[in-house]
Structure 1
């Protein structure tokens, strides 16, 4: 790789010239071992020899006592192996600077416990072959779904059950199967002697030892042939049963759990066992016995949640996007519920959440923002231009970039361009508009998100929706160009072509890079980003007289206003109590409905709650100081109590109520008149009327 010590040293603020090692993992290894003794944190720009460096650290005397933290970063496939390698020093400096950042704080964990109780569902012959391959390490039960091509073995090695599956739910260590046993042959009593198979004149009994009722014509020859074992009994009533398992291997043609992200511990092999994937799955099953942990990928703050108020549903974005079925609605408690055992850590829920009630923790948003700002500021300091962040997954995305780098080194591809900085994520759906726009504010020219075909369709749709929204916002503010790209590639050639196309146009950016720190609260971060983008907006600088710019956004955007039909609105203020973001406010001194646009998340709870259907959502961004100010959406004259003249309610609301109840039998005469009184006078008048009745009663 071509490396320039002067450029890298200046960008990394090294007090002395850098020493670059070309064979550090072999004859220059003592230099690494000497660094271990310093106690300083060490960054090794070599991921391919991570195992060797780790072993060297373990074997170096005094290294453990010195306490150096070792981190690894790949600058070879991401920058050094590229046709642009000689121009990639700013990017390499940025990658090294980001690698120096401290590790994120540990997160809470979710535990699983598996005793190895394995349920195999499928044709009996294939299920028994799978059970034999798994071996004796697991406690196996087979749910037979027909005999298969060969039928079951004559030697019954494993418990076999059959019937109609009603339900299968759960996760690793906690699956529950519900089924109905409704066949005349009891598999617990069956000895597989085949007497019933031979005796049946309709050949209605297969080698799964179950009766096909569509073929059976009730000769009952099988029942007589099985008189000794008593396994066949047509008078046996159907029985509903359930059982618990730790693992499930599904060999059926159609999966029992048809989710894009099935629960951990559930494996579906539609292609059967005769392929590498099947053998790998069987090996993995043998390892899933014991206690396991995974990160708890999310934080939930109910007070910020816009899902439900007063049993009225508003925002459903997280429930609709989750491919793991980990999120459900609990309107009784005005919240959503996330099952941490089902959550797979995609982070899509936090990306589409308009309020930040769901936050991603692996890593947390401030850590991710710090890394982006470090990458971009170091890149700019080293003289880099037109920075592009390439967000990719830690698994398939990272492997694809590695394949592209090797192809470039062999002269078969261009490789990762000098201005494109890869940034690995647990899942590409875990980062959305708040961090993308922050990166633009920090100086990124473009944000590219790499999808490889492994993502759920709703994740890709959500990412595209977020990109359309962010791009509309930037263009409305006058930032020319295309700043966001959703790349779909699953081969090095496709990725190479997509990355080459990113440099086709120039993008307009804020004249000054932002210096704020990304916070833990999503809306607070968005406000900081928007303030900076609005302050630097070319559209407003080109027209200084324009105080505010209203940018129409697509439906579903987390910014906007509402309109109120003043002719139908009665100022009942039900919308105020429904608003989870304090965007709608009342006035303690007058009948008024007030609104603060910057607080509105467009959840729709006010629109759904309004009994008069007077409210409509207006997705937009108001680029001006007015979006932070209270505005009056509706106001009315107060109604004065007919007894004490104290104002209460509004004229329109009281008149509407009187009109609706005037024909009701319970509200005639004095009862109707009391509706015109305040609550205190209503009680006094009712009490006085009751006393008068007692006095005049003969």
Structure 2
């Protein structure tokens, strides 16, 4: 790599010594460094195992050690000599403190495996797993070995649910042949005149003519009983290997501990890989709890009315559901795979990503962009990619560039690995642009569910509309798709030239834990640097910003919308019949629309740029209606007139009683009580 120690050291405010063959001849320098107690960054990931072993063997080693790849990400590239600003940025980010620990989710597996599929195929896989796992087979087709080596169940599967260590199978035993009693003597197969019984010992009800010759042939074992009613059964398993053509779980991200291997993939590398993974899943396992949920911010529902369903609709693991009666969602941490897409589309920040948290991710972006600029870099492009498939592709591009087959990661493209690309959203994208990123690209590979891509495109359309509306020309956001190294190399070369206009950076801010706070910080900076602002920017429907329009002819000021609003955007006036609105708080969830009994409310996605956005304004007001008895205002003229019209035919409000509808609550009670007393006196 054509490294420039002086340029890197200047950008990092440090004196650097270049060790070009550190992992072999100069390993002693590494051992000396890790005795100092200072943070040590090793700019090599290929020999991570070697460095870890050296650290364990070095007496007095006390330094925290971090690793970063600067070779495939920039050192091996066509324009590596101009990549010093990027390499300095990667080194600076590697020195950041480790993210704060997060809560974990624990799985426990004793190795009880359920194999579902054709009997012969299931028995073949069982033979390769039975030495490690406790195997049970569930089969409705195919012939198997005559030797009964594993428990075999049959019937109709009613449901299969759960996750690693906690799967539950429910089935109905509707086969006349009891597989536990069956001795596989094949007498029934030979006796059946219609050949309705196969070597899987299942009776084909459509072919069977009820001769019952099979029952007579099975007289000793007594395994066949056509009079037996289907029996419901259930059992628990830790792992599931599904060998059927269609999987039991249709979602893009099935539960952990479930493996689907259709017959076409039951041989070769994929089958071997699955076997090895299953053998490893015995014991206790932990994963991060990827999300945090604040119910009070949730815009999902209020008073049995549903507003926002964004998180439920985008979750590829079906880990999010609506808790009816509780006005909130429920996230199953055992099913959550940590994609973070729910946090990206959540308009309020009720769901936040914790691995890492937004402030930690923001600190990394801030460090990358500040160091890159300080080192003389221009037009930085942040490439967000996954730590799995995305990282593999980036490294493949670098290695191919080393031998001249590809061009490599451009000097101004800064790779940013994350657990999942859907976990960063509009708040961090706009924060990156506000702090100097000319472009933010999200790399999609074969890992992402289709709904993730739709959600990311929708959020990018909102962010781009805001930036263009503020006068920042060009394209600032891209959803890049690549399935191999060549495609990614092509995408990155285009990204290097796809830079939008950015604001002047006047002090970089820290990303907040709350999504709306970060959005406001980013918008304030972007608006402050913009020139010739319009009054408002029209935004797509997925916008978390917008206006509420009220049809004053329909609205009765019942204020149902006020009680439904989760963001305090809608409010009343205790002194006057008014509906007030603060546009800055509105998240466009739609709860006010679904709650309004008069269908008087519509949403208008937009970003208002005047001072009025942060001030409450009156959407509707009416003349108060005073009680006909005491004169105290208790409603609006329009509201009371609507009530009179709807209840005029009610038996309780006939004759003089209709006047009670024109009274406040206190006077209405007094009037009813007085009328009852008068009635008693008359009766006496």
TM-score by length of 2: 0.99
Partner of 1:543: none
Counterpart position of 2:658 = 672
- 1:5 counterpart = 2:1: no
Return the alpha-carbon distance in structure 2 between the equivalents of residues 458 and 18 of structure 1. 46
Aligned to 1:352: 345
Q: Secondary structure at the match of 2:266?
A: coil
Does residue 379 in structure 1 map to residue 379 in structure 2? no
Q: 1:18 offset after TM fit, Å? A: 1.6
Counterpart Cα distance in 2 of 1:505 and 1:211: 65
Deviation at 1:549, TM superposition (A): 2.1
1:565 corresponds in structure 2 to: 551
The aligned counterpart of 1:140 is 135
| Maintained 8 Å contact 1:387/1:421 | yes
Q: After superposition, what is the alpha-carbon deviation per residue over 1:187-236, rounded to whole angstroms, capped at 9, x for unaligned?
A: 11100001111111111111111111111111111111001100111111
Are the structure 2 counterparts of residues 634 and 553 from structure 1 closer, same or farther at C-alpha, using a change threshold of 3 Å?
Answer: same
Residues 90 and 383 of structure 1 are in contact (CA less than 8 Å); yes or no, is this contact kept in structure 2?
A: yes
Residue in structure 1 matched with residue 169 of structure 2 by the alignment:
177
Aligned equivalent of 2:79, options 81, 84, 102: 84
Equivalent position SS for 2:128? helix
Which residue does the alignment assign to 1:307? 300
In the TM superposition, what is the alpha-carbon distance from 1:272 to its structure 2 partner? 4.0
* CA distance in 2: counterparts of 1:534 and 1:106, whole angstroms: 35
Q: Secondary structure at the match of 2:456?
A: helix
Q: For residue 404 of structure 1, what is the aligned residue in structure 2?
A: 397
Counterpart CA distance in 2 for 1:221 and 1:472 is 76
SS of equivalent residue, structure 1 residue 538? coil
The aligned residue for residue 328 of structure 2 is 335
CA RMSD, aligned part only? 0.9
Runs ≥4 in structure 1, deviation > 4 angstroms?
none
Give secondary structure in 2 for the equivalent of 1:82.
coil
State the match for 1:46 in structure 2.
Answer: 44
1:450-487 CA distances to partner (integer Å, 9 max, x unpaired)?
11122100001111111111111110111000000111
1: CA distance between counterparts of 2:506 and 2:396? 34
* Contact kept in structure 2, 1:319 and 1:328, CA below 8 Å: yes
Residues 568-619 of structure 1, C-alpha deviations (whole Å, 9 max, x = no match): 1000000000000000010000000000001000000000000000000001
Q: Is the 8 A contact 2:439 2:499 kept in 1?
A: no
Q: Is the 8 A contact 1:162 1:181 kept in 2?
A: yes
CA distance in 2, matches of 1:53, 1:116: 35
Give the alignment of 1:241-640 within 5 angstroms: 241-270=233-262, 271-540=264-533, 549-640=535-626
Structure 2 CA distance for aligned equivalents of residues 436 and 334 of structure 1:
30
Corresponding residue of 2:191: 199
How many Å separate the matches in 2 of 1:332 and 1:385? 54
Q: Which residue of 2 aligns with 1:110?
A: 105
Q: 1:62 aligns with which of 53, 60, 63?
A: 60
Which 10-residue stretch deviates more, 3-12 or 502-511?
Answer: 502-511
Number of residue-to-residue matches in the alignment: 683
| 8 Å Cα contact 1:308-1:331 kept in structure 2 | no
The alpha-carbon deviation at position 493 of structure 1 amounts to 0.8
Secondary structure in 2 aligned to 1:264? coil
Distance 2:255 2:351 in 1: 21
The CA deviation at 1:671 is 2.3
Unmatched runs of 5 consecutive residues or more in structure 2:
none
State whether structure 2 residue 684 is matched by structure 1 residue 692. no
- Is the Cα contact below 8 Å between 2:439 and 2:498 reproduced in 1? no
Q: Deviations over 1:627-663 (max 9, x none)?
A: 1011100000000000011111100000000011112
Deviation at 1:513, TM superposition (A): 4.4
Pair 1:161-2:153 in alignment:
yes
Secondary structure of the 2:361 match is: helix
Residue 220 of structure 2 corresponds to residue 225 of structure 1: no
Measure, in 2, the Cα distance between the counterparts of 1:506 and 1:300. Answer: 35
Cα distance in 2 between the residues matched to 1:291 and 1:184: 40
Partner Cα separation in structure 1 for residue 203 and residue 554 of structure 2: 67
The separation in 1 between residues aligned to 2:211 and 2:365, in whole angstroms, is 76
Distance 2:367 2:98 in 1: 14
CA displacement 1:12-70 (0-9 Å, x = unmatched): 011xx32111111111111111111111110000110111111111111111xxx2100
Shift of 1:396: 0.5
**Uncovered stretches (5+) of structure 1, i.e. residues with no partner:** 541-547
Q: Corresponding residue for 1:100?
A: 95
* Structure 2: distance between partners of 1:602 and 1:513: 31
Please report how far the alpha carbon of residue 506 of structure 1 lies from its aligned counterpart in structure 2 after TM superposition.
4.3
